[in-house]
Structure 1
């Protein structure tokens, strides 16, 4: 059988996460840097969620999905960063087998849900530009809620498959994971048996949850580009392009490293390089998303100024 029985998992009861450095001085510097990145990510995304909830003008499908994206990003970065910050200062860098399982599962849930949400956001832009007069009819609040729930459901279901098969592999030692969190390929490289079949399972899931959504996004934007070209007004073209540019930017930041990590064979696994790549799509994407959306969005800026104005009046 290609999977071990559950009892074989007792061979390894915990994992050791190497992180980025073993030098205490370097770790203290990294702690300050990553703490600032984490706080900026949480505060930036939290600000977007707050503004969208407080400003009635932002209660539209577009900002509803942006609010969910910010919530996903906050949760996404919180699954890995707090533990990494603790490990940078602590003498012990261990994580229990159950803790590793849970972290891997939640990280995968949030990542896959975000992947599907990007498709939903591309569909939102497609309807807004290609069928503006029917926008509110097509994207009713009922449909928006179902699409958001569907993104979460896909994340929970497919992540369960991925995590179950990975953690059912026999781990008999060593238990040192050359990573800063329990990412699937990094943990799977420690298995005491051939992982060819689990790689095939992961590839199928990656095609369904990464390649397929990316193809749908590209198809949507090809149609959007055709619609923008037909707009006669230069101002109208610029406005239509601006609403799509932010989404295309964050899609590129998310899918490029995710495709590299999850759509390749285990034989090409490179610990040091993979740590840097996963850091980019785990931490920096969550940090840059609110910056990209707020800098290019007049509605978000306007909502921020309104809130600041109310705060001054209150004081």
Structure 2
């Protein structure tokens, strides 16, 4: 039976609301938390983007659940040595319940300091070197590193956890899935794609955990829930590489205008019908995912948590 967690959306909510939702998630029976790490939201309609490391510090004092970044890009906007320090401190504050989720990122967040946005292949190489730097610093020794992309000069972390946090790698294509198998302690994705799972396993991921996240939009009226999901997250249905290449929320909003409501209705479980939510989650269970994280879209999280506590989680767990 997989672990069922809640996915905190920094793109939609202010810090205090994220903390409140984390408490509600724990009370509702969710077993862990994912939290997004962005500088910008995907669209202005979503409207928020607090600094994730501050929120994680507050979460450590508010809940007893494990917390995973979903995901941090440790390659362009923030140097991997700084991410190593942030991850170490988070693991200390969460008493060993922190997991660092990493990925190759999006231009949306990573262009802001004026750096060139690398190609997909180069970003994977950068991620591999960044993870190497992070692991070395989490080992507690003074290190110097002179690599292709990063330099670290006689650096050492002094605030260290008893056990370094696992590093889970996000991927949505075969090359990134294989990279997760090679350099990661686990694989994070969004669909039960057997080819991606095979690429991860074949590249060194055998025996490592599989994690997936998905969005839902509970609401008492299905049609209104579809409209809410379409208004706030139709950008998730943009196909191809645009999600990695567009630099501004306004660009995502422009391209997302091409996504019809029916596409969101088909992709996102919306409304109050239990079976609709179960049908979206069970393929991930059947594919063998070890952890599954659900995010509620929109302004009705309290109803969502009550619904999942009473109706959805007990059925998923066979109660």
Q: What TM-score do the two structures reach when normalised by structure 2?
A: 0.24
Which of structures 1 and 2 has the bigger CA Rg?
1
Instruction: Give the structure with the larger helix fraction.
Output: 1
